[in-house]
Chains A and B, each alone.
Chain A
């Protein structure tokens, strides 16, 4: 198997940003990594998991990001180098521990890699995690390309060990999921020995217990550590300036925005007018370095995403030293030079820069654009996101939606995070009616389930996946049971963490490295909590609808576990449960009695409407053989036969 351990020092190869992070961690002598799947971060842990087959490292998909950070911290406390990896919202989950970890300090080098998703390409929010560094007084690093992803990771471990605290590295989708040339370093031969020294005094940094007490003392220490990091930042090779000595405008930037900014300067042809201060160390800003460069120009243009975090820091610093560098004009997100929502790209930066310089920038001839717009509007049909053919969620939401209509009391489902989040859309019959964070569906349902005293008579449900159940739903369910809320939780158990790439979780019998491990049983856990539990196969839509309807009439906390594995899981690959056939001569088509139920409403991609034959047909290549369409077809045109 090819792993990121391949290749020798000095080799240059094309690497994905996340692969580069993983390689950097190995080059730093990492021993332990823990994370929770989250796009765009997952490949870091996946690559390290593959590497663990050839290198002695422990790789864990933890139950959630808070525990992941705690697991990594333990390794650090025991003197090993460790990393916690997550997407931006994972940092929110880990933040309580992160605050305390920052105050208690670490021992072995420990880093947090937070991979953010500006533009919400794979998220339900445009949150970012850089402010946590400021909030918790920790050093923040932002690589701008794949080489830096590797090199800064390695350096981050050194910094962490020097200051004895967590170092945060921030990435974005356009870095984590992009690939570029990376020159490899060497993989050290390490022989780590884990030992947690705790017998010293409370303030002994080497051998004392690791706590946040005494709080004021530890807090002061933490601030001292940060100051030390800043002195390193002043000399860091990851902060660079390129451009004229006296530019009209200085762009201050970091992360992938560095590449956009460089591109923008090139597109406008203003390399002689615009300087680029690229920062790799973005919190705290090294004041002497900043002063040197901010003095060069009167106009400062900060390019970043998502919040004006860097911009605010630059403004504060500039205000503090304005007597030495003069008063500056600032542009960025706050004044509308850059948009405040969605991700950036070279064009948005070029447009902003052009505005500042009093130029116009036109990417392409407007007649071409008009023609291309017309072409796409007429002849490039939109691709709505849809559940895969054979996805158990389509069947589950079919049953839940129909049960709610039959119940007739305007009941609703509180949604959660996973592939099933798509059930907001027609692919899931627009069944989900709230959608927030991990576990929020059940927390909110627990709340709705107590409003009967105020006249609420609508039945309340929530959904969650099997991974989400362990991550965050359990405490919410405990809350509902203990507080006697009336609600039904539907656990959509498709045997994996599907949306992020089918990683394992505590309900599965194998771990990140493929070892056999105990699988926790959701039904047993929920029964032990005291909820009423039922199970059903979502592919049996009639039985499932019947069960849902029954539970909607019951009070108290009900849990319905719908068990059917994901269409993309390894066990199902290339195998069909049923051979499904469609006899077009029997199909009711557009007539009263059907009107294209299977293609128009059920919308499985394996079913296609043939406007010439005026009948549906099955695409053999896409059809995964789940057989659900045969159950819903009113004419009997669709039949299914078990595959031997």
Chain B
């Protein structure tokens, strides 16, 4: 894995408009900060190599290196990534509250906190519609962060801060780009002697795209009083609307319009199901109140087993057709994104000075792009 510094980070990510605002570069050092969903560099640090660049999910992501580190196998480009089991899941009877989908993520994280399998969880809350990073230590605090935000969030700022404060055995819940960043961090690519992996549990959530907070607010501000917004949701198909909640009621906006606000960086992301996690959770299309659950690692497997036994999680078999449909969708995103990235020149590895956004093994790329 090639390591570069903040100068290259700005050139290769910020200036190419590839920053997703995940916050992985923030709170490692004083030079990066996040504000309203965007990461900003205050001053150049002048170092040739740094964690900001090494951990960023939008530059020099070495898929083979990641795959070897986590699975001891080369990256094979499989649509859903490596996993042990795919299941249907939802929060068990021990979990109170209502959820947007199945409540699987909240159940697993709350359970892990309750049983002291983790010390804290890095989650994404919201203030109005602005997603905010949260570090929670109590199971009761998890539900407040439940639900998809649909907006790119600087969640990992809280992870970095917690790690600096000495926290260990953390869970982190994040989107595929965030989980890619976390995975890179766990490899300790800059070979720091003082590195200790703070992560005990990595929970990924499925994602096709996210919205840019600033652009969304600008769009909404032209059409309503944005200061009255209390929350938002994108109901499952076939609704095709963005629902914005205010104190007075709801406003609806056509998803067709909203999709124009998707940041261009989402269109180079090859990962729909958060391949670099212990478990990944997404919507179960056609079955409201349930989630799709991918169990990837032994850690994930044991957690799910225990949670089910304790009544915190319910699981069922996942129909083969659904798995094929999911796989198809994931593959379509992977192909589309690689093709798009390739077109922009973001995948070039052919000479010494290339700094691709993603390093894809050439045979995998050739196979996918046909």
Contacts and interface: CB of A to CB of B under 8 A. Distances in A.
A272 interface: no
A347 interface: no
B29 A405 contact: no
B167 interface: no
A593 B190 CA distance: 12
B40 A634 contact: no
A634 B30 contact: yes
A407 B35 contact: yes
Among B35, B40, B49, which residue has the most Cβ atoms of chain A within 10 A? B35
Interface string B44-60: 01110111100000000
Contacts of B41: 405
| A contacts with B: majority SS | helix
A394 interface: no
A595 B33 contact: no
Among B30, B52, B190, which residue has the most Cβ atoms of chain A within 10 A? B30
A408 B42 contact: no
Contacts of B40: 405-408
B51 A601 contact: no
B33 A592 contact: no
A549 B43 CA distance: 17
B38 interface: yes
A590 B5 CA distance: 13
A600 B46 contact: yes
B43 A601 contact: yes
B43 A592 contact: no
Contacts of A634: 29-30
Given A408-B40, A592-B28, A593-B28, A402 B33 contact: yes
Nearest to B46: A595
Contacts of A402: 33, 42
Nearest to A593: B29
A592 B38 contact: no
Given A401-B42, A597-B30, A592 B35 contact: no
A595 B49 CA distance: 11
B38 A408 contact: yes
Nearest to A429: B43
A592 B42 contact: no
Among B28, B40, B42, which residue has the most Cβ atoms of chain A within 10 A? B42
Q: How large is the interface on B (under 10, 10 to 19, 20 to 34, 35 or more residues)?
A: 20 to 34
Given A406-B33, A632-B30, A634-B29, A595 B38 contact: no
A451 interface: no
A402 B46 CA distance: 17
B29 A592 contact: yes
Contacts of B47: 590, 592, 595
Contacts of A594: 29-30, 45
A549 B35 CA distance: 9
Given A402-B42, A601-B43, A592 B50 contact: yes
B107 to A, nearest CB: 36
A592 B49 contact: yes
A341 B354 CA distance: 49
Interface string B1-45: 000000000000000000000000000111101110010111101
Interface in A72-125: none
A593 B30 CA distance: 7
Nearest to A597: B30
A408 B28 CA distance: 20
Contacts of B190: 592
Interface in A388-411: 401-402, 405-408
Contact of A405 (B28, B42, B45, B51): B42
Interface in B306-360: none
Contact of B35 (A408, A590, A593): A408
A540 to B, nearest CB: 16
A634 B43 CA distance: 14
B7 to A, nearest CB: 12
A214 to B, nearest CB: 61
A408 B34 CA distance: 10
A600 B190 CA distance: 23
B309 to A, nearest CB: 43
B50 A406 contact: no
A423 to B, nearest CB: 15
Given A407-B35, A549-B35, A595 B42 contact: no
B218 to A, nearest CB: 10
A609 to B, nearest CB: 13
Nearest to B14: A408
A593 B267 CA distance: 31
A191 B325 CA distance: 105
B198 to A, nearest CB: 15
A592 B6 CA distance: 10
Interface in A570-624: 590, 592-595, 597, 600-601
B35 A595 contact: no
Interface in A362-402: 401-402
Interface in B145-196: 190, 192
B152 to A, nearest CB: 14
A330 B182 CA distance: 78
A406 B35 contact: yes
A541 to B, nearest CB: 11
Given A408-B40, A549-B35, A592 B30 contact: no
A597 B28 CA distance: 13
B191 to A, nearest CB: 11
Contacts of A632: 30
Nearest to B214: A408
Nearest to B29: A593
A595 B34 CA distance: 20
Among A401, A402, A592, A634, which residue has the most Cβ atoms of chain B within 10 A? A592
Contacts of B35: 406-408, 549
A601 to B, nearest CB: 5
A590 B42 CA distance: 17
Contacts of A401: 42
A243 to B, nearest CB: 61
A634 B34 CA distance: 16
Contacts of A590: 47
A273 B46 CA distance: 62
A382 to B, nearest CB: 20
A601 B34 CA distance: 20
A211 to B, nearest CB: 57
Contacts of A595: 45-47
A429 B42 CA distance: 10
B273 to A, nearest CB: 31
Contacts of A407: 35, 40
Contacts of B30: 594, 597, 632, 634
A600 B47 CA distance: 12
Contacts of A406: 33-35, 40, 42
A407 B45 CA distance: 19
30 contacts: A401-B42, A402-B42, A405-B33, A405-B40, A405-B42, A406-B33, A406-B34, A406-B35, A406-B42, A407-B35, A408-B38, A549-B35, A592-B28, A592-B29, A592-B47, A592-B50, A592-B51, A592-B52, A592-B190, A592-B192, A593-B29, A593-B51, A594-B29, A594-B30, A594-B45, A595-B45, A595-B47, A597-B43, A634-B29, A634-B30
Interface of B: 28-31, 33-35, 38, 40-43, 45-47, 49-52, 190, 192
Given A406-B33, A407-B35, 20 more contacts: A402-B42, A405-B33, A405-B41, A406-B34, A406-B35, A406-B42, A408-B35, A592-B29, A592-B45, A592-B49, A592-B50, A592-B192, A593-B28, A595-B45, A597-B43, A600-B46, A601-B43, A632-B30, A634-B29, A634-B30
7 nearest A-B residue pairs (beta carbon): A406-B35, A592-B50, A593-B29, A595-B45, A406-B40, A405-B40, A634-B30
Interface of A: 401-402, 405-408, 429, 549, 590, 592-595, 597, 600-601, 632, 634
